[in-house]
Structure 1
């Protein structure tokens, strides 16, 4: 493996901690004998183009410094290649790094771990989800949670978790279950009223909400969590359980395992790794071993 390593940087991650984090990671890599090049674009499209150029040019690894959005961007450059990905989690959610057992919010520790793992050749292959040509590492979200994201993204005058708490309360005011059409590997069509449907390659989204607590990054299958037709009162009572993953014990919640999932519903946008994708219908496919990751 070449000793040339590429850092994909989101300077705004963690409210501006991204640039400082990148310096710490670069220092750790250089101390271990690696040459480091930083990639940052004026926008996501430019940054992705530069990351792909680095991968096509044979970089030894791509290190994403930021949150889940930066990690998702990096996936589009390295998925399906043998270029390993490292994550330095300094964003808001950091669910992909959490699923991989990486340090959260400690760029120095993450940089040292990546440098040590690269020196030792410690990499492993994991599964990814794919919708059309777009890859994702954690969860494809749809339904109530994606509606909350839609509303929160429109609240540009607010930042942080308070914005999404406010968006959630606003969505609850007009909440109703959504008619879904779901098709799994067995081909049986399920027509259900559901609060949300989450397709999990990883277990969590939203900064540690374990919506698909049994998801395994290496089993070749998604965990598909279907939260049924809850009332507003029941939703308020059940939703906090998602942080422990115990919501799946509720009788209105079912979990399926499938390598391919088709979902359709009116006026619902899909989100992957916390990023807006496009409106349903969507078909997600689990691709075994699609990503090579660095350590631990």
Structure 2
């Protein structure tokens, strides 16, 4: 019989309103009871976390992300580049990457999953702004209403978690101005007056919104969803459709697919871009060198 897997849990203490440290305790106990080696460390910040990932991978540990999608996204890139294996213990507000992988949420099921589920290879997204450093993203990159909504969520302190994304989305719609986006998919370019553009490797974002229902995490392709400009009333009315993916049937929604996406955009103010719930900066204006999102097929080994 082979030895049990060993684990390094890296915990974002702020995820889920501070729920992440509490979530790790029963899972770590069950794994130790099963004979596994478990180390639990609270994330001390991105630079120090990269060093912890490298040390864990060199020991042969599975690196477990304990937090939300932002924590998963950062660790996914670090684990991928170190050649390790990632585990995900969902303990954030969104948990959309865990949702896409169909991961369990109860401690006993999570422990069983970590011990016995096979490792699979999934794609990552590489975000490369002109003149800036590249960043690996696990789920999606987006600009427009959704980037503004994500920024509003980050500032919410008293709104119940299950209401944060819907409330933020409605607030973002209420104040949005459409941008002019240039979207190039594998060299084929088109311009859109749009409310939002999403480049997705995973179907879900925003705590269960099925924004890219056709996305598959290991097909070597990215799904691009463009929601063209509409009235605020029309956007609010159609907003619930995004939860089951039926928004893609609306005439103002365009779905594209490719491996390399180039993005530029102009708006009344610079258009923000986000990835997995975290800000990534601004899209370069029309006429400038584009930002590039491209797929890295099978870049991440994950228990899932």
| Matches for 1:66-77 after TM superposition, within 5 Å | 66-77=67-78
**Cα distance in 2 between the residues matched to 1:155 and 1:15:** 10
Aligned residues: 288
| Matches for 1:44-59 after TM superposition, within 5 Å | 44-55=46-57, 57-59=58-60
- Counterpart of 1:178 in structure 2 is 179
1:36 equivalent to 2:38? Answer yes
Cα deviation 1:258-293 (Å, max 9, x = unaligned): 101111113112111111112113211111110111
Q: Which runs of 5+ in 2 are unaligned?
A: 129-133, 285-290
Q: 1:153 to 1:294 in 2, by over 3 A?
A: closer
> What is the DSSP-based 3-state SS (H/G/I as helix, E as strand, rest coil) of the residue aligned with 1:265?
strand
Cα deviation 1:166-200 (Å, max 9, x = unaligned): 54444333322110011110x12211101100011
Q: 1:218 to 1:169 in 2, by over 3 A?
A: closer
| Contact 1:141–1:197 (8 Å) recurs in 2 | yes
1:279 equivalent to 2:279? Answer no
| Contact 1:21–1:108 (8 Å) recurs in 2 | no
> What is the DSSP-based 3-state SS (H/G/I as helix, E as strand, rest coil) of the residue aligned with 1:205?
coil
**Cα distance in 1 between the residues matched to 2:107 and 2:273:** 30
| Contact 1:6–1:59 (8 Å) recurs in 2 | no
Moved over 4 A (4+): 154-159, 161-166
| Contact 2:54–2:82 (8 Å) recurs in 1 | no
**Cα distance in 1 between the residues matched to 2:36 and 2:190:** 52
Cα deviation 1:184-232 (Å, max 9, x = unaligned): 10x1221110110001100010110000011011110001000011111
**Cα distance in 2 between the residues matched to 1:164 and 1:288:** 30
| Contact 1:39–1:51 (8 Å) recurs in 2 | no
- Counterpart of 1:79 in structure 2 is 80
1:124 equivalent to 2:120? Answer yes
- Counterpart of 1:189 in structure 2 is 189
Q: 1:69 to 1:108 in 2, by over 3 A?
A: farther
Q: 1:25 to 1:206 in 2, by over 3 A?
A: same
| Matches for 1:175-254 after TM superposition, within 5 Å | 175-185=176-186, 187-254=187-254
| Contact 1:271–1:277 (8 Å) recurs in 2 | yes
TM-score by length of 1: 0.89
CA shift, 1:43, in A, is: 3.0
| Matches for 1:143-182 after TM superposition, within 5 Å | 143-154=144-155, 160-182=161-183
| Contact 1:29–1:111 (8 Å) recurs in 2 | yes
| Contact 2:150–2:278 (8 Å) recurs in 1 | no
| Contact 1:90–1:107 (8 Å) recurs in 2 | no
Q: 1:280 to 1:218 in 2, by over 3 A?
A: same
